[in-house]
Structure 1
Amino acid sequence: MKQKIQNCVIIGSGPAGYSAAIYASRADLHPILFVGPNPGGQLTTTTSIDNYLGFPLGIDGIDFMKKCQKQAIRFNTKIMNQSVKSVCLSNKNRGIHHIFFEKECIKSRGVIVATGSSPRLLGIEKEKKFTGLGVSFCATCDGFFHKGKDIAVIGGGDTALEEVNYLSKICRKVYLIVRKNYLKASKILQSNVLKKKNVEIFFCTKIIKIIGNDFLEGIQIFNHEKKNSSTLLISGLFIAIGHIPNTEIFKDQLDLDNKGYIIVKKGSTMTNKPGVFSAGDVQDSNYRQAITSAGTGCMAALDLERYLSLSS
């Protein structure tokens, strides 16, 4: 029996993936969505989302993603609780793309890649356990919960100093933990942070222990220059040592930038392959917000609908 060729396969189940699914479903593209190894994406590690439009009292990250899935299913999106293992993307206009999972393959005229990114981890005990319980990777997402309290940021690049700049406005004390003896961030960011009276910088320092039983209560740090350790009592630890885009299976298929993010045409979600579009954090190293991801998911579905209509 000849396999049916689909119109839309979505890889990824964060806000970008589900937003794309809702728009694609309403356009009668009958999308198939693969949830991947981390159903719901990074938001499932957030205890409360307070900055997403339409939720004045905030919403739990897991609950939010469940609602997104229910909405997609309501419009008849087919949910595949599996991970895509590899892809073979056509270079031809009106080409057919092959998506492989388990021992099966789906053929589709259109593909939306919304696989997101993963934060770089320190690799120490309790780091994953306390994610959402004091450990965070996004100041604009979780900084509000530490208003008037003492927190720490680890990192020395632009992202870390941007986090410090934001948190210093709402927190009582901000400790910046830098593993090297210098900052890598841009000069203007360094200048702004160095002027902050409530920011204390620890150079040549690393975190060796996260303290707490059920949630973060503090950290133990070690200065490898002075050869001494100390303890900081904090309510929040913001890890800002970078993100890794989830693009491993697309390395030989799509154009990626030097950090591994998918390159899309300016002002659209088009990749270098006809009929393949990308949305969310996997193509956005700048904003990385749920609401911007959902926006690009909408764009990807509209771009795909337009592509299919012009290709028919």
Structure 2
Amino acid sequence: MPNLPVFSTIGQAMAVFGLHIGALSKWALIPFFLSAAALGAAFGLGLWLQPPGGAGFPYWWMGFLPAAIFCLVAWTPYAIRVNQLAVAGRVEPVGYLETMFSSVGLRYLAYAIIVGFIQLAGIAISALPVLLVAHSGTQDGNSSRVVLAVALTVVLVLAFFILTSPLNLVYPAAALEREPSLGRAYNLGAHRKLRLFACVFLTAALFGVLGQVVEFAASAMGAQKSGMVRLAFVPVQILLSFFSYVTATAVPAVAYRILAGLPDPRGAEPVPGNQPSGTSGSSGTPAVRNAAPDEPGDFPGTGGA
């Protein structure tokens, strides 16, 4: 079983953003405008159903539910392309809009929903000690019970996320394999649960700290008193959010490539190890559906928008 170097995995995921920032920026325009249009339409519908200061439809906010679902669908091809870049260094030459409603895009979204429900269920179960103590009431003499319940919940949450960390490998599997499997993706990282968790956790912690640094710098320069200073930091915050999203998406994909023994798209030798279904056994390269050898920046115009 190949080893999974935590800091190297995070570094390679961050390099995906740096190496392909041009293509990633162009691709982001499509889901950005689609999401803005959907949310804008939901907001306009809400104003029409519930005018300010007037009695209107009490469930005016329900228009935001399909808009939110559409936003998830709109950003799914983007996540698929980030995974393909991290694993293969290129994307399949299929149009963005075509991918949104293709079997690949819908399957990727379905796996994301399944993993999301598993994580929510695990968090809910882990929170039972705190909920039980809160339901029984907190007397002055029960402070030790509260502390114990909180500590137990924290331990259970950490244990749950470590145990389920290999599920994150289903995202690159869904983006690259012809027949992805949640069980096969879990088995691929089953022996590296703690390292997979460390990759995800440290990535979130890193960008959390960077975000606080930007906020501190903005406050130090008077952003709270000057709208111009705050406005000057908006591009920095947008770039950092963009960087964070791409890196967080690429981390499981890089881990997938390393654990599967696939070659580094930057030219390094493949890591010896097992290869998941959907890869070519002779060369060890992932079976990106109809991938072309061009640069990733050339693909958005291939096959449509």
Shorter-chain TM-score tier: under 0.3
Higher strand share: 1
Higher relative contact order (CA 8 A, sep 6+): 2
Greater Cα radius of gyration, structure 1 or 2 = 2
TM-score (norm 1): 0.23
TM-score (norm 2): 0.24
